[in-house]
Amino acid sequence: MNKRYNLLLPILFFLLGGKLVAQQTPKTEFRAVWVATVKNIDWPSKPGLHSSSQQEELIKLFDEHEKNGMNAIFLQVRPSADALYAKSNEPWTMFLSGKQGLAPQPFYDPLAFAVAEAHKRGMELHAWFNPYRATNDLDTANISSNHLLYKKPDWFFTYGTKKYFNPGLPEVRDYITQIITNVVRNYDIDGVHFDDYFYPYPDKQAMPDSLTFKTYPRGIMTIEDWRRDNVDLLIKQVSDSLRAIQPYLKFGISPSGIYRNIKEDPQGSETTGFQHYSQLYADSKKWLQQGWIDYINPQIYFPFNYAPAAYEKLVDWWAKNAFGKHVYIGHGVYRLVEDKNGWNDKQQMPNQIRYLRNNPHIQGSVFFSSKSVTHNLGGFQDSLRQNFYKYKAIPPVMTWLSDTAPSAPEHLIAKKEKGKIILSWKSAKQIGVSSSVRKYVLYQFDKKEEIDLDNPAKIIKVIWAPANQIELHINKHKKHQYILTALNFNNRESDPSNMVKR
């Protein structure tokens, strides 16, 4: 099949009518949005808000993304060696209170609150860390006196207008790993996420790490290979540590869109743009090949047929270089306000979703950022609600993780009470982490409708365990059938429960 036909096929299906659209909507698909806290990009709207206002904003944000059909939130919890959560040895982030080191007032734990609220809406919560950025500027007024910068000044270097951890120091890698595992032990998160910032984006100055290279060369000949190895060491250390604590916790990374250009590497992509292998010292292909990460989330913020970096060529390249792991495409929704290179075409982003769905080696999307989606730039939020994410989806199973499907929920019953239906059930006994129930999927069918659990249009709710009941509003003009299944941490689905009618 030629590439042009490959792109047009799902578009033709869309044009043929609603029934075919429903058939093309996958039941399993990863759908996430980045919620950036650095510089208050997405949340909170500004620093210094009362805690109740912060909570109200986050609730509204999560409500909107539940309506948008998202099943995961990437919440930035460590913008720059600081914390958006209480159980940390690092200072509170300034983007909450306006002053680094100052807790939100009155006190609450934003990460614990966010996890609970995401789970209420059937969405996963992934903690998004920036591992190496230590400050957002060089203004000491913005740096808490308790910042590690003052306790371990030799762990950092200055580059451009920011301070960074020195990735070449073993104690730095140990520290960052400890920061991340602390969150995993203390919060009920579903994943750990890194973005594209490892070594800083290059400018005209030299990287000030040559002395560290001489001190810890590890037999590596060039400083470029050494820098890549420094990042590799951190990724492997974090991966091993996460697996030891929670084997089914997702660990993924979102590099910039281009690994290597074909001019520099025959196995690279047909592109000529910025490549993170050589310019950020990030060997993302190796992380997949070695199995250190569960998914790659390349930021393919480019349009179709863009000469330096065409969307379709990069999607195809990542699909071919996933080594059996998941690929979630990163979309720059903020670019929909641009009027060149095809971004002024309202079908640009919808066609990107159609294109990736036509590739069996791509498992979903992540959108940057929350505000761009909820502001409906280019009408894209409308596209999600009315078409692509109209029906709920379950995150895909990671087949390389050994697990067992949970047992089916038991004794599903339905009772009418004050204009509502109350569904309740019992969870069968589970043995071991791999088969334990993480959440439930509730299906609703019309009274005499054929039961088809592969139809995502019939999923009406994802319910987080250990809940064992739910209230539904009664439709006086319709009778329904209900079936429940259970999902484990890896989203492996159980057999269905008994069916009840109301």
pLDDT digit string, tens, across residues 284-296: 999 999 999 999 9
pLDDT band at 11 (very low <50, low <70, confident <90, very high): very low
Q: 253-298: per-residue pLDDT in tens?
A: 999 999 999 999 999 999 999 999 999 999 999 999 999 999 999 9
Residue range 216-243: mean pLDDT, rounded: 98
Classified as helix, coil or strand, 58 is: helix
Residue 387 tokens read as 């078409």
3-state secondary structure 247-261: CCCEEEECCECCCCE
| Band of residue 20 on the pLDDT scale cut at 50, 70, 90 | very low
CA triple 367-135-47, angle to 5 deg: 65
Going by DSSP bridges, is the β-strand pair 439-446/480-487 parallel, antiparallel, or unpaired?
antiparallel
Which phi-psi region, left, alpha or beta, contains residue 323 (left: φ > 0; alpha: ψ -120 to 50)?
A: left
Structure tokens at 278: 């050589």
pLDDT digits (tens, 9 = 90+) for 209-224: 999 999 999 999 999 9
Contacts of 19 (CB under 8 A, 6+ apart): none
pLDDT in tens, 335-351: 999 999 999 999 999 99
Average pLDDT value for the chain? 94
Rounded Cα distance between 230 and 218, Å, is 10
Structural domains in the chain? 24-388 (3.20.20.80), 410-501 (2.60.40.10)
CA angle 339, 343, 345 (to 5 degrees): 95
pLDDT per residue as tens digits for the range 455-489: 999 999 999 999 999 999 877 778 999 999 999 99
Strands 459-464 and 439-446: antiparallel
In angstroms, the Cα distances linking 214 to 202, 209, 219, 223, 368 are 21, 9, 10, 9, 39
Rg for the chain (alpha carbons), in Å?
Answer: 23
> Residues 6 or more apart from 344 whose CB is under 8 A from it?
338
The Cα-based distances of 295 to 153, 327, 493 in angstroms read: 34, 6, 20
Do 260 and 268 contact (CB within 8 A), yes or no?
A: yes
Residue 354 makes CB contacts below 8 A (sequence gap 6+) with 7, 10, 11, 14
